[in-house]
Amino acid sequence: MAVYDTADNVTSCSVNDATVFVIDDDEGLRNGVAFLLGTAGLTAKVFASGKDFLAFYNPLMHGCILLDIRMPDISGLDFQEELRRLEIKLPVILMSAYGTIPLAVRAVRDGAFDFIEKPFDDEALLKRVREAITLNIDQRIDNQKVKQAREQLSSLTDRERQVMSLVVSGMLNKQIAAELGISAKTVENHRSRVMDKMGVRSLAELVHLNTLLD
Amino acid sequence: MTVTMLILLTLLIWRLQTHHLEQNHLELSRALESARDSISARLEADEGFLKVLTEQLASGTLIASEFEHLAENYLAERPRLTAIYFIKADHTVLWIVPEEYKNEAQEISQTISEHVTAINQTNETGALTYSRPHVGLSGTQCFDLYVPTPEGSRLTGIMVASYNSRSLLRNTMDRSTIQAYQTELCGGAGQIIYSTPKVAQVDNRLVNEITLLRPDNGLKLRLSKYRAPFWDQQTVALMTICIALIGGMGLGMWALSKQIAERVSAEKALQDANAELEHRVLERTNELSIINHRLAREIAERLEIEEQSRRHMDQLAQMGRVSMMGEMAAGLAHELHQPLGAISSYIKGCQRILEQPSPDVKRIAYAVDNVNTQSRRAAEIIDRLRTFLTPKPPCKQPHNLRTLIDESEHLIEPDRKRIQIKLETDIPPNTPTVMVDRVQIQQVIINLLKNAFESVQARGSDDRLVSIGASLNGGPDIRVDVCDTGIGCSLEELQLIFEPFKSTKAENMGMGLPISRTIIEAHEGRLWATRNQDHGMTFSFTIKVVNHNGSV
């Protein structure tokens, strides 16, 4: 289990060290699925119920959830709601059986990543699982970037922040100098410090970072 | 009654007034006598005093200063007396008390001469006298008492006491007398000398007078009773009692008359009520008999409904069983997916392992072990399904086929209405009796009708017709056909139509027709399907009929 404390760690997390959380009340099925995922090089963790999963999970884990839509203790839809409430942003793939397709469609509309029908095609299952994990990693990286950018932004002085907002709006140094009533040389100094503090090397990067912050 | 009472009351008051008057007269006489006595007593005292003075004077023991001393003291305590003086035979005043009157001695002697014609004469008789009332000293109404010196005295003359009439009365009379009567002093000619102020009207019936002095100088005391208010306390009390009595009586009589009136009206009301009651009883009796009829009818209806509902419940139970079969089958099918899904996962996993350059045999063994377990589980589920789907041996009883079909149609009526299907029934009037398990055969009929409805519904044409008919072909069987105008099926599908789990409908298990066929075959009949020439399909089954002699 990896611990992601810094942006470097997040960016380094991959599909291979992600975890697939298989939640199904049928022991045979969840073990079978876990076996299949294992043979495909994925790490799977099995849980008999949503409650068991929540007891185990911590926010540093990444991957996706493979959830049986029909479970005795909590329905797939209610479980999704519970995940949202707890701000667990793992993508959910629902496993639906005969007669539960409408339910699964509703779940997807409700924010589930996808659903697969039992008995499922192994290739299709593995493909969707990998996609879900990738989405989760991307989300985490973006989240981490935003978090980092916020920290960097807070290290700027008021003047530097003013300069930055004018720079990303596309103004030239001279225009900024006139706008703020300071010399172009000073603007230049502020600008290089902003780039430094925000950890970017080009104007394009700074603009991208600014979009993330918005 | 009231009038009599009033007359009695008037009489009583009159009698009371008379009595009152008599008493007042008596009281008046007493007051007069009492007043005269009390005045007389004082005058006698004065007479005595003057006599002593004259005797002393006659004996020559009384000197001027002593006279003055004695007289002044006497006067000081007796305001009724204005003055005491001695007048000589020549009508000259010798001594006079109080001193202020000395200046009026002349006047006095003149007055004396008017009243006492001859002092000597008086002296001769030796008797005291009273003068007539006159205006005396200081202009007051007065009268004088003359006491002559006795015979043989050294100085002949008269000792005089002058009375102020007003003071005499005022200081002698009782206070109560003065308050109750107007008190008057009258002279001999009847002229009024003094009168107490008149405080009220006097009662002319209650006036009396009495001669005041002896010897008589014509002075009289007259008392006039002040008129008492007509309504004196006693009368008022009496009147109050009487009025209260009369009032009370009147009230009593009024109450009585009212009560009587009430009783009369109550009796009338009672009579009315009785009449009304009789009327109501009659009405109610009629109503009751109507209600009785209705009740009897309702009871009969209720019994009928209960019977119907009992039958209906019976039928619903059958329907329930049919739908429960579907549901259980669906549940079992879902259950079957679990081990199959697991097995599939293990197998796929194994395939992946085997694709690797050096397959991990241990993992494959693990998977195979699990596949074994899961396939056993699947087999168990299928066993349960089979047990469930195998019909019980039919409990055959004679039934009218037409009734069976009618009841089935009745049960499926809500479905028919919902999807708006026209259902035609063509059953010959004399359908024979069949030996069947009612519940099972109805399951088959309902299943076939339902399938037909769904097929018509699926096609969605305007031509929404399903027909059920029965026909005897002279053989030992009766044939029932269920014909629809639905989507029908392909030839390939027709081959498999009675195979389990071959349903063409998403929400269907595909168990209806296999079960139906099993049931019909258990009844030694046949169930088959044919494609119609234009649209839809016809499902037919045969059932053995009971012969007239009762054998199948």
What confidence tens digit (pLDDT) does each residue in B76-104 have? 888 888 888 888 888 788 888 888 887 77
| Strand (E) or helix (H) holding B81 | strand B81-88
The predicted structure's pLDDT at residue B413: 86
Terminal C-alpha separation, chain B: 114
Each as own residue / partner, the long-range contacts of residues A193-197 (CB below 8 Å, 24 or more positions apart, any chain) are A193/A160, A194/A156, A194/A160, A194/A163, A194/A164, A194/A167, A197/A152, A197/A155, A197/A156, A197/A160
Nearest CB to B348 within list A26, A98, A122: A122
Contact criterion met (CB below 8 Å) for B364 and B348: no
Please tell me the distance in Å from B496's CA to the nearest CA on chain A: 22
Give the pLDDT score at B416: 87
Per the CB < 8 Å rule, is B343 touching A99? no
**Beta carbons within 10 angstroms of residue B467's beta carbon:** 16
Of B173-177, B207-211, B370-374, least confident by mean pLDDT is B173-177
Would you state the pLDDT for residue B116?
67
Confidence of residue B292 (pLDDT cuts 50, 70, 90): confident
* CA gap A179, B19 in Å, rounded: 136
Q: Which residue has the tokens 């069987």?
A: B477
Comparing CA positions, the residue from B303, B224, B260, B277 lying closest to residue B32 is B224
The confidence score (pLDDT) of residue B318 equals 55
Q: Say how far apart CA A14 and CA A38 lie, in whole Å.
A: 16
Contact A20, A40 (CB under 8 A): no
Where is mean pLDDT largest: B301-305, B325-329, B369-373? B369-373
Q: Please report which confidence band the pLDDT of residue B484 belongs to, taking 50, 70 and 90 as the band edges.
A: very high
Residue B307 pLDDT: 75
> How confident is the model over B434-454, as pLDDT tens digits?
889 888 898 899 889 988 998
Instruction: Tell me the percentage of chain B whose pLDDT exceeds 70.
Output: 88
For residues B506 and B207, the model is more confident at B207
Residues of A in contact with B353 (CB under 8 A): 39
- Residue A59 identity (one-letter amino acid): P
For the residues B331-348, what does the mean pLDDT come to? 84
Mean pLDDT of all residues belonging to chain B: 82
Lookup: tokens for B236: 């008022």
Closest CA to B51 of B160, B147, B122: B147
Q: Which of A74-88, B209-223, B470-484 has the highest average model confidence (pLDDT)?
A: B470-484
Query: For B507-530, what is each residue's pLDDT tens digit?
Result: 555 678 888 888 888 888 999 999
Half-sphere CA count of B79, side-chain side, radius 13 A: 6
Count residue pairs from A and B with Cβ separation < 8 A.
73
- Enumerate chain A positions whose Cβ falls within 8 A of a Cβ in B: 26, 28-29, 31-33, 35-36, 38-40, 70, 97-99, 118-120, 122
pLDDT at residue B445, rounded to an integer: 92
**Per mean pLDDT, which range of A3-12, A165-174, B382-391 is the poorest?**
A3-12
- Dihedral sign for Cα B247, B248, B253, B258, please: positive
Taking residue B41's Cβ as centre, other Cβ atoms within 10 Å add up to 10
Distance from CA of B427 to the nearest CA of A (A): 39
Cβ count near A88 (within 10 Å): 17
Residue B507's pLDDT is 53
The reported pLDDT for the residue numbered B509 is 58
Structure tokens at B398: 């004679």
Torsion sign, CA atoms B268, B274, B275, B277: positive
Which of B26-40, B175-189, B474-488 is predicted least confidently?
Answer: B175-189
pLDDT at B25: 87
* Of residues B95, B94, B135, B87, the one with CA closest to residue B112: B87
CA pair distance A131, A42, nearest whole angstrom: 12
Distance from CA of B345 to the nearest CA of A (A): 5
Q: Would strands A92-96 and A114-117 be described as parallel, antiparallel, or unpaired?
A: parallel
Residue A112 is classified by DSSP as -
**Identity of the residue in A28, A70, A98 whose CB atom sits nearest the CB atom of B374:** A28
Q: What is the DSSP string of A14-37?
A: -STT-EEEEE-S-HHHHHHHHHHH
Q: Burial letters for A146-165: b for 16+ Cβ neighbours within 10 Å, e otherwise?
A: eebbeebbeebeeebebbbe
Q: Which residue of A has its CA nearest to B338?
A: A29
Q: Which structure tokens are listed for B164?
A: 């102020």
Q: Is the pLDDT of residue A4 over 50?
A: no
Q: How far is A145 from chain B (nearest CA, A)?
A: 37
Structure tokens at B172: 């002698």
pLDDT tens, residue by residue, B25-68:
888 888 888 888 888 888 888 888 888 888 888 887 788 888 88
Residue A14 has pLDDT above 80, yes or no: no
Nearest to A99 among B330, B352, B363 (CB): B330
Contacts of B350 in chain A (CB under 8 A): 39
Contact (CB, 8 A) for B368 and B346:
yes
Interior angle at CA B218, CA B212 and CA B221, nearest 5: 35
User: pLDDT category, A3, cuts 50, 70, 90?
Assistant: very low
> How confident is residue B132, by pLDDT bands cut at 50, 70 and 90?
confident
What is the average per-residue pLDDT within B287-298?
A: 85
**Residue type, position B272, single letter:** D
pTM of the model: 0.40
Tell whether the model's pLDDT for residue A5 goes beyond 50.
no
**pLDDT value, residue B522:** 86
Among the listed ranges A42-51, B279-288, B501-510, which one has the minimum average pLDDT value? Answer: B501-510
Res. B551: pLDDT tops 60: no
Predicted confidence at residue B109, as pLDDT, reads 76
Tokens (6 digits) for B375: 């396939």
Residue B313's pLDDT is 63
Q: How far apart are CA B46 and CA B54, in angstroms?
A: 12
The DSSP element (H or E) to which B180 belongs, if any, is: helix B175-180
Beta strands in B152-256, from DSSP E residues, in sequence order = 157-164, 181-186, 192-195, 202-211, 220-226
Compute φ and ψ for B392, nearest 5 degrees. -70, 155
pLDDT of residue A1: 37
Cβ contact, residue pair A98, B353, below 8 Å? no
Looking at residue A64, its pLDDT comes to 94
pLDDT score of A32 more than 90: yes
Q: How far is CA B413 from CA A90, B407, B410, B417, in A?
A: 50, 10, 5, 6
Contact flag A28-B373 (C-beta cutoff 8 Å): yes
* Best B343, B345, B370, B377 residue to mutate vs chain A (most A CBs within 10 Å): B345
Q: At residue B120, does pLDDT exceed 60?
A: no
Which one has a higher pLDDT value, A188 or B414? A188
pLDDT value at A34 more than 90:
yes
Q: Quote the longest CA-to-CA distance of chain A.
A: 74
Long-range interactions of A100-103: CB distance < 8 A, separation 24+: A100/A69, A100/A70, A103/A69, A103/A76, A103/A77
CB contact burial B265-295 (16+ within 10 A = b; e otherwise): eeeeeeeeeeeeeeeeeeeeeeeeeeeeeee
| HEC secondary structure over B389-439 | HCCCCCCCEEEEHHHHHHHHHHHHHHHHHHCCCEEEEECCCCCCEEEECHH
Most confident of B212-216, B325-329, B541-545: B541-545
Looking at residue A95, what DSSP letter applies?
Answer: E
For a pLDDT cut of 90, what percent of chain A falls above it? Answer: 23
Q: Which amino acid is at A61?
A: M
Q: How many CB atoms lie within 10 A of CB B366?
A: 16
CA dist B57 and B157 (Å) reads 10
pLDDT band (50, 70, 90) for residue A20: very high
* pLDDT score, position A2: 37
Asked if residue B176 lies in contact with residue B169, where contact means CB atoms within 8 angstroms, the answer is no
Q: Which of these, B478, B424, B433, lies nearest to B452 by C-alpha position? A: B424
Give every CB contact of residue B436 below 8 A, 6+ residues apart in sequence.
Answer: B394, B396, B397, B399, B404, B523, B543
